[in-house]
Structure 1
Amino acid sequence: MSNLPPLNRDTLWAILNETIEDATVNQLVWHYLGYRYDPQTQTWDNSAVPDDWRADYPEPPDFIENRPPTVKLTRSIPPENKQLLKETLGFKGYKVGEFGPRQTRRATMANWLLSYMQQNNIQL
């Protein structure tokens, strides 16, 4: 996971525009949640993951394929950061009939990453 794209405006738009693969989007969120893969032991180190995540997901979940971890991700975004995609990026959302659960989950992941940036004073 050392080849992750930088956490910036271009990466967030690439998530929303689906120009970054689902696996990479998952890996970005895993990384910022604190999951680290140890290739030597071929296991996940979750010691830096928040306790509530570690309890529910000892290994990183697939946010794209599974709704429950995405719901948890949504709930972990502070209320004041729920609209950051619109307020900061100007994201208008997807057009009706042109999106499904996958796009919605990617938008949630992009918003969570943007919230992470806001909370950790990472400049957009």
Structure 2
Amino acid sequence: MNRKKEREALLKVLFEKDLNSDSNAIAQFNDNLFIESLFKDIEENKNRIDSIISGHLKDWSIERLPAVDRSILRIALAEILYRDEIPLSVSINEAVELAKKFSDEKSAKFINGLLGNLNDEEL
């Protein structure tokens, strides 16, 4: 499975978990180090990740974001914060591509803008 497919699989896992906190969808990827470790990074650092996202929302709360967009942002931020081997531009581009495929063009632009406005203090 290539990284693009791994991100798509992780998005589906996070989306399901966001809608059903009892979901154990990650279990099917126990043999995939990238998916499993990025999922762990997101779960262990969700407060920090969500705080960064929330800091870029104007008159909006993270809970009001569509679940798919919230999940895409969490993946991108986990990569940016905890995966030094993945260039920032790659994480942003992959998040935008996920949004185009699983959400819509408006969300893709929003995600691109939010991630593009991250500052060094947050990272």
Per the TM superposition, whether the score is higher than 0.5 is no
Tell me: higher relative CO, structure 1 or 2? Use CA pairs within 8 A at least 6 residues apart.
1
Q: Which has the higher helix share?
A: 2
Determine which structure has more spread, i.e. the larger CA radius of gyration. Answer: 1
TM-score scaled by structure 1? 0.33
Q: TM-score, normalised by structure 2?
A: 0.33
